[in-house]
Amino acid sequence: MSKQKLVITGAPGTGKTSIIKHLEEQDYHCYHEIVRDFTKDSKSKTTIESNPIVSVEDPLAFNLKILNGRIAQYKDGLQRKENLLFFDRGIPDVLAYMHYFDQTVDQNFKDACSDHMYNKVFILPPWKDIYVMDSERFESFEQAKDIHQHLEETYSSFGYTCISVPFGTVKERVDFILNNI
């Protein structure tokens, strides 16, 4: 089997982290979402209830940091011996969020997406029954639906066909992903 680079994406609160954890428990190599670490660093102590991404002083630098982190994950994956690599979000997620926040997307962001292609993209649709806002998730469910749309449009613009993962238990969703590789 050739190396498969597989993205699991979706709006906030769709179950990505639970799926990644379940895959790791089955000894699959997974790359974690890097934005949570970055947003922790950017969060203002006085705006705990607001989205720290909105208050980032330099959104372009912040997005470039995320882009470079995702590229580093991608390149690391090319060096690994495992044939199945799972990514909690891919490089095009950066552009989708930039579009969502109505930010200008420089050509280097688009080039990064074209130069670092994944084999498959699994997208988790917004799911009201499991959606919870927490200290690191600031988007409302309505905003999550908008983000989902931006994700689908962005991945499609780079030639991907997003595979929608149906609602179900974490195990059922992981089984669906593994059966559709």
Mean pLDDT, the chain, integer? 89
Poorest-pLDDT segment among 33-37, 51-55, 112-116, 122-126: 51-55
pLDDT tens per residue, range 119-129? 999 999 999 88
Range of the domain at 25: 4-179
What's phi and psi for 165, nearest 5 deg? -90, 120
**Does the pLDDT at position 156 exceed 60?**
yes
CATH code of the domain containing 99: 3.40.50.300
* pLDDT-derived band at 46, boundaries 50, 70, 90: very low
Could you tell me what percent of the chain has a pLDDT over 90?
A: 74
The count of domains in the chain is 1
pLDDT given for residue 129 in this prediction: 86
